[in-house]
């Protein structure tokens, strides 16, 4: 018996992406709010604009993917979302709105390492999406 191959539409993950980004926006900005997190300092307000922009970009991109899941559009959207994420990560690096002074472990170092990993991964993601964009523009990788 022949196995059916599933045709990828580019819409996979759009609904969970919308839900997660909307939930993060609500939790951080409405209830309970970022200020209840014990290791975040008042300077967190200086990064929330960039963080919110990244979440909104992700939410908007997923809404577009849900409507029109074309590979070309998805690759473009992912590049935009990754750029917003990089901007947010650099803003967090600059402000570093964390206070880990109550711990004997060097959580600040861990946070910096995770930021570097996230930034590096985002740049790698942009390269991968540029390749996907080129493949989509050339009509490669289509399944029937």
DSSP 46-58: GTHHHHHHHHHHH
pLDDT in tens, the chain (144 residues): 566 655 555 677 889 999 999 999 999 999 999 999 999 999 999 999 999 999 999 999 999 999 987 899 999 999 999 999 999 999 999 999 999 998 899 999 999 999 999 999 999 999 999 999 999 999 875 554
User: What does the DSSP 8-state code read for residue 98?
Assistant: B
* Per-state percent for the chain, helix, strand, coil, to nearest 5: 70, 0, 30
81: Cα separation from own chain's centroid: 6
| pTM metric for this prediction | 0.86
Q: Note the pLDDT of residue 144.
A: 43
Q: Note the pLDDT of residue 10.
A: 60
Distance of alpha carbon 103 from alpha carbon 100, whole angstroms: 6
Q: Note the pLDDT of residue 139.
A: 84
Paired tokens of 65: 């993917």
CB 21 within 8 A of CB 55: yes
Q: Note the pLDDT of residue 5.
A: 59
Q: Note the pLDDT of residue 9.
A: 57
CB 60 within 8 A of CB 111: no
**In 3-state terms, what secondary structure has residue 40?**
strand
Q: Note the pLDDT of residue 102.
A: 86
Of 53, 77, 90, give the one whose Cα is nearest residue 129. Answer: 77
Q: What residues pair up with 98 in beta bridges, in sequence order?
A: 40
């Amino acid at each position: 018996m022949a196995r059916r191959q599933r045709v990828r539409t580019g819409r996979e993950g759009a609904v969970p992406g919308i839900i997660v980004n909307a939930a993060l926006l609500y939790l951080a900005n409405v209830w309970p709010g970022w200020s209840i997190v014990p290791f975040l300092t008042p300077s967190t307000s200086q990064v929330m604009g960039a963080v919110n922009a990244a979440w909104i970009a992700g939410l908007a991109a997923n809404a577009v993917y849900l409507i029109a899941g074309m590979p070309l559009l998805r690759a473009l959207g992912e590049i935009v979302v990754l750029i917003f994420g990089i901007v947010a990560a650099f803003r967090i690096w600059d402000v570093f709105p964390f206070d880990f002074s109550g711990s004997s472990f060097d959580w600040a170092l861990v946070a910096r390492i995770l930021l570097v990993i996230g930034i590096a991964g985002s740049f790698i993601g942009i390269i991968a999406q540029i390749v996907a964009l080129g493949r989509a523009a050339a009509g490669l990788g289509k399944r029937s």
